[in-house]
Amino acid sequence: MSDNANKTDKPSAAEAALLPPVDVVEDGGGITLYAELPGVPKDQLVLQVEADTLTIAGEIRLAMPEGMESSHVEVNVPRYRRVFTLSKELDTQQIAAEFDKGVLRLRIPKAAHAQPRKIEIRVD
Amino acid sequence: MLYRNLYPRDLFAELDRLQRALQQGGDVSPNIRGGSRGGYPAMNVGGTPNSVEIYAFLPGIDPAAIEVQLEKGVLTIAGERRIEYPRNDEKTTVHIDERFAGRFRRVVTLPDDIDPNAVHARYRDGVLHVSIARAAAAQPRRIVIQ
């Protein structure tokens, strides 16, 4: 990746970003998403839901001593970003988020009308 | 003489493969140990005249469960990461499964001038930061001319 990516400060959609690894698990009540954003403090995490698009983004802040020169770099862009398209039955008003030790846990419940129901069959 | 390729490649399959390769860091043939560069966890290494700084990206782990060992100038970071989903029943479906799970071990060879007794390890926001001071004798000194 280019060095320029490390020098800019303003986050924008055009900027280079790392794709955080995620797990997405669905059960009857909704979807749980786990995303890994190590190095992102809580105040640098950005979660956005716009229409049916969920954006997870975060800026990496590492405590580096003054004058440090990198000799080997694997995490070479200081930010993460990933976008997901949500489906209609998910209730975006009820999203709950937890962020601990670089792992984000998002719980997106299904809207009440979309919860699975067992349909009883009556035989007359 | 030119021969026509009997098995032309499917352009879309090639694009797909290329895209996957790019996402994995541009390495087309992966390492036998899986990662295209170093494996898990990802690491950044840097240094100042007074110290060597190592950052291991290890989110969501109990810091007490990470083994950090320094032996003969070799730093080892090892441990195990378990991933469990609450309410796991037969109705649970895993749609995407990208996070690393299992045992990991990474080894870094340190420069000769480090002081093995001056090591600090800190875990913050899912990053393990190991800072090792360089031996005082190895630090650049200004030599006074008499």
Element (H, E) at B18: helix B11-23
Q: Give the global pTM.
A: 0.75
Of B37, B47, B57, the CB nearest to A38: B57
Q: In what order do the strands lie in the sheet with B74-81?
A: B67-71, B74-81, B102-109
At the second CATH level, the architecture of A18-62+75-114 is Sandwich (2.60)
User: What ipTM did this prediction achieve?
Assistant: 0.77
List of chain A residues whose C-beta atoms are within 8 Å of the C-beta of residue B122: 63
**Residue A71 vs residues A76, B44, B47, B55, B58: alpha-carbon distances, Å:** 12, 8, 7, 12, 20
Q: What is the pLDDT of residues A63-89, one digit of tens each?
A: 999 899 998 888 888 999 999 999 888
Residues 97-126 of B with CB under 8 A from A: 97-100, 122-126
Domain residue spans of chain A: 18-62+75-114
Is A37 exposed, middle or buried, given 0-12, 13-18 or 19+ CB atoms closer than 10 A?
buried
Other beta carbons within 10 angstroms of residue A45's beta carbon come to: 19
Q: What is the pLDDT of residues A19-62, one digit of tens each?
A: 999 999 998 889 999 999 999 999 999 999 998 899 999 999 99
Tell me the fold of B39-84+100-138: Immunoglobulin-like (2.60.40)
Q: What is the pLDDT of residues B99-126, one digit of tens each?
A: 989 999 999 999 888 988 889 999 999 9
